[in-house]
A and B are shown apart, each in its own frame.
Chain A
Amino acid sequence: MIAGIDIGSGFIKTVILDDAAGRDAAVLGRGQVRTGVDLEKAARQALALALDEAALPASAIAYVATTGFGRYSLGFRDIQITEITSGARGVRFLYPGADAILDIGGQSTRAISLNPAGKVAHFKTNDKCAAGSGSFIVRAAKYLQIPLEQAGDLALQALKPQPISSICAVLAESEIINHVSAGTSVEDILCGIYESLADRSSLLLKRVGMRRDLVFIGGVARQQGMVRALEQRLGVRVDVPPHAEFVCALGAALLGLQRRRAAAGASMSLGGSCIAAE
């Protein structure tokens, strides 16, 4: 079995992939825990959850591929891959003809375009600023005193969306509060937030040369309001895979599988670059 572990800034996501079944890979289990201070410990917890779901013992794991900002922090990894490569790989597995990807996590926004062969053609990530990423919504939900899980669906009920002009995840707070005190509904505020986030994302997507439709992954993809805002802003179809937040972990596992097979097949190891660190 292959484990793909995505160590994100907010959550650690793990996927267990079956490597036995010929060419096709199947996901046997998933696990997610909040990223704590001790990355290794949290990663083990996430792995344990996934193993539980797969009803497998830890010894069943033959290969571990890590990704995400903490990819270097696990001592027990076999390979580490960036979240962009693994996200692209995961999407290509789920949507073989995919053209462009948007991945919005807790602190990051990534736009990726794929070439016809499904490889990463271009990508852009947000700068040293949390504007436009998932934490913006987490904060907004907090100010609005609604559970995060409901934010996406509430936004769908908006009648008159109120745009947010501040790009700063922190300063937007006073704007949101102003809207509240002016009597704007929570739905309209949320919808406005999604619209401005979609605006920002569309800029990134344009810069990587998005052409057709979009696959949207990462934790924020679970929020329907954001999906709709993107569809409206971009005028394209937006696909969200089930378990959108696990796509990077899946991609990492797939790449791990590929490497393991290659290593088993050939005596010489291929690729290797960053992996075979000195």
Chain B
Amino acid sequence: MADTAKSEYRGEIHSRQKELMSAWYQRLDEAARTGAPATVELMISGNCVELLEAFDAVPLYPEINALQLAIRHQSLEPILLAEELGYAADNCAYVKADIGALLKGISPAAGKLPKPSLVLCNFVGCNTYIKWFEHAAVFQGSPLYMLDVPFLRADSPSREDVTYVVRQLREVVKMLEAITGRKFDYGRFRHAVECSRRVEDAWSRIKLLAQRRPSPFDAYFDAITLMGPLYVYRASPAGVEFFDIALRELEARAARGEGVYDQEKFRVVLEGPPPYPYFRAFRDMFAKWRACPVASTYSTVGGLWEFGFRHDAEDPFEAVALHMLEHNLTNRNFLQRYAQLRRYVEDWNAHGLIIHFVKSCRLFSAGQGDMRDYFTRVLGVPTLYIESDLEDPRYFAEAQTKNRMDAFFEALEHAGAHRGLPLAVSGPAGPHANPNLKVIP
């Protein structure tokens, strides 16, 4: 569709992203063939890639593999294989696709995937991680370390929470020393943490660019392009370089007044992961209405930085622990997610909220009905609720989803939402800056 081509920004970011990601897969392939470098299977959520960098170990993110399979329409086969093994129709399909692909030897890249030297379950929020990595360790015959991160049950973590995580991180260091045969290099660790800080700075500024009107950055679909390097290369100079380029490119775009849609009509906030098997079709539904996702919770699964948190090299262990405990979407509680979304609607000047319920993921989806109630009834934010899945193509009904999207945007259009909206300021706006947002008593 012509509209989509227009909405999809292509710059140097994209070619660099491709290079980086294929270099990553090459290193994994190398590890599969030669046994080096060491590889650590890790979850994206609140990942501690800085620690790996200190050992020159390569992270292996099964979520990235699973989503690659889905985007390429290759997820159904491994999912079905996993279901033959006994996985339920209602288990997270990320897990099924990953385990199925593993057993079938399917790799999303040209090369092979290694048997990880360590399966490091950073249990950051999602309980499915525990099961997933238990199974991954069993099926691959790799050692498993369960890094237990206390859930964020208060506004911020307690001293005890931080101590607990730091103590475990030190146990991981011991394990990595044994596995890699290298001594832990504290200086390198600090350097890795410092790289992360710089990447996080750039990434945050990119996200804040989306407050402009028109937004030069699609914080949902385009954010995903940046998320691969963000998780794989965050703690390395390559990551710093990449994000510097990205920021420069997007700032230049903003300076020229270019937007994702030059005649941006609607601005929406997205909750929930995208339907990867129908990524393109879903994107088209936004393009049809020139609706730009200006902020999304999905892009904060790995880390939430736009509200200020940075890794601090002064106390690198504590910094990593704090990131895992507090500054990522999955370990934050559901009400903190409401607050995050509300802030997006307000400060990013959005017309409405789109909640994408994915059947696989209860972490994201369980309770989104209540979220909808809060946003429509309490805050008066126009909200669309749609259901499908992030990995399993059997749960996406294109015609029905399109019908719902059309109805939502028809309603916004009818209400004249796209007219008379003040230009967003470039810095963070104050509370309730958004005239679209009315708190209904």
Contacts and interface: CB of A to CB of B under 8 A. Distances in A.
A54 to B, nearest CB: 44
Nearest to B86: A207
B420 to A, nearest CB: 41
B83 interface: yes
B139 to A, nearest CB: 18
A206 B83 CA distance: 8
Nearest to B398: A165
Contacts of A209: 84
Interface size class of B (residues with CB under 8 A): under 10
Contacts of B84: 206-207, 209
- By secondary structure, the A interface counts as helix
B238 interface: no
Interface in B75-100: 80, 83-84
Contacts of B83: 203, 206-207
A209 B81 CA distance: 11
Interface string A184-226: 0000000000000000000100110100000000000000000
Contacts of B80: 203, 206
B134 to A, nearest CB: 22
A212 to B, nearest CB: 15
Contacts of A203: 80, 83
A182 to B, nearest CB: 16
A206 B84 CA distance: 6
A209 B84 CA distance: 7
A49 B83 CA distance: 44
B277 to A, nearest CB: 15
A90 to B, nearest CB: 26
A54 B161 CA distance: 80
Contacts of A207: 83-84
A207 B80 CA distance: 9
Nearest to B83: A207
Interface in B376-399: none
B171 to A, nearest CB: 40
Interface string B262-301: 0000000000000000000000000000000000000000
Contacts of A206: 80, 83-84
Nearest to A208: B84
A22 to B, nearest CB: 43
A238 to B, nearest CB: 20
B357 to A, nearest CB: 19
B190 to A, nearest CB: 52
A209 B83 CA distance: 11
A203 B79 CA distance: 11
Interface string B396-413: 000000000000000000
Nearest to B84: A206
B36 to A, nearest CB: 39
B81 to A, nearest CB: 9
A85 B83 CA distance: 24
Nearest to B397: A165
Interface in B36-89: 80, 83-84
Interface of B: 80, 83-84
Given A206-B80, A206-B83, A206-B84, 5 more contacts: A203-B80, A203-B83, A207-B83, A207-B84, A209-B84
By Cβ-Cβ distance, the 8 closest A-B pairs, closest first, are: A206-B84, A207-B84, A207-B83, A206-B80, A206-B83, A209-B84, A203-B80, A203-B83
8 contacts: A203-B80, A203-B83, A206-B80, A206-B83, A206-B84, A207-B83, A207-B84, A209-B84
